[in-house]
Amino acid sequence: MGNMNRQWRLTKRPVGEDFDDCLVFGEEPIGTPGDDEILVKNLHISLDPANRVWMNEGDSYKAAIPLGGVMEAFCVSIVAESKSPDFIVGDVLYGFGHWEDYTVTDGAGWEPAPDIGAAPFSAHLGVFSVVGPTAYVGLLDVCDPQPGETVVVTTAAGAVGSLVGQIAKIKGCRVVGITGSDEKCTWMTQELGYDAAINYKTESVFKALLKHCPDGIDCHFEQVGDAKVLDAVLTQLNQYGRISLCGWISVYNATAPIAGPSGLANLVMKRGKMQGFIVLDFPERIAQSHTDMRQWIEDGKLKYRVDVVDDLSGAVEALHTLYAGTNKGKLIVKVQDDPLLG
């Protein structure tokens, strides 16, 4: 690699899921940090459904990626050079970075990666970065599930969903997961401890929820935004039911409006709550989520899968698997090895 920096730049705005020729792979010289800046070496980058949203022209919960800018991602990186009093070479950082080998930054948006105990390095992005805390606060802070309540989870075998279901079980809830294949259903009920799993591609979600949620639904963790599934949940929602909106993947690649659920009136009847959240809104809860999750992993109560893509050049192709639902577990791109970490 020498002193060259491989990177993916966003050169035009995609329409739908057709972002392949909007992201261009190339090489440039590695940058040099100025005063109070650092150079981070990116080790692992996280691929997330929301990455597609960031490519749009309009701002979302964060500013849109500028045209010509390097594609963005959550990263685990190591400080390679430092001209900042706040960072030392060798610090392992977690932050809001880019699809490239090296990034020059003033350190804003970066912080020390948490202590992940004996977990493998990939767990930084697999459980301890965005994914785990998202599941944790989205379920516990937005839904506040009580022991004995029924929790429903969409994309329940996904990186976030699989943790949501397990955390709900740890909290003493009945948990029903919705996913897209029988293999995932089996994994959820056999390995993760879900009480029931629904394959939305082969079953009526409405009927299956009616069967698997005999006491109605108290909490729902939504990541898809499919009107049929939401209507099934809304119809069976209990009084004071809480719906946590983590994502809305069904429209991230949409090119025309898609009609929403027709059953929102039930939010009035049941005094229900539907609330969007981003883990970044709960900074004071992140440390607690790390502590709890590390303990649960050590106790064998929390399992997770990681799907590592071995080269930065495969990032675009890998991103598609998120929308196709073919990845298994948290999707990560390994950018480069670090000799310090072995």
In the complex, which residues of this chain contact a second copy (CB under 8 A)? Answer: 53, 60-61, 225, 227, 231, 239, 245-248, 251, 257-265, 267-278, 281
Burial class (CB in 10 A: 0-12, 13-18, 19+), 37: middle
Nearer residue to a second copy within complex by CB, 118 or 256: 256
CB of 270 to a second copy, least distance (A): 7
Q: Which is nearer to a second copy, 88 or 264 (CB)?
A: 264
How many C-beta neighbours within 10 Å does residue 162 have? 29
Give 63 or 341: the residue with its C-beta nearer to a second copy: 63
Residue closer to a second copy by CB (options 54, 87) is 54
Q: Which is nearer to a second copy, 275 or 313 (CB)?
A: 275
What's the closest the beta carbon of residue 147 comes to a second copy, in angstroms? 23
- Between residues 246 and 312, which has the closer beta carbon with respect to a second copy? 246
Alpha carbon 35 to its chain centroid, in Å, reads: 34
DSSP states along 164-209: HHHHHHHTT-EEEEEES-HHHHHIIIIIS--SEEEETTTS-HHHHH
Written as six digits, the tokens of 244 are 């946590």
Of 72, 73, 68, 59, give the one whose Cα is nearest residue 12: 68
User: How many whole angstroms separate alpha carbon 157 and alpha carbon 185?
Assistant: 8
Q: Shortest Cβ distance from residue 138 to a second copy (Å)?
A: 10
In the complex, minimum distance from the CB of residue 1 to a second copy, in angstroms, rounded to a whole number: 37
Query: CB of residue 119 vs a second copy: minimum separation in angstroms?
Result: 29
10: left (phi over 0), alpha (psi -120 to 50) or beta: beta
Smallest distance, a second copy to C-beta of residue 281, A? 6
Q: Closest Cα partner for 135 from 246, 301, 294, 300?
A: 246
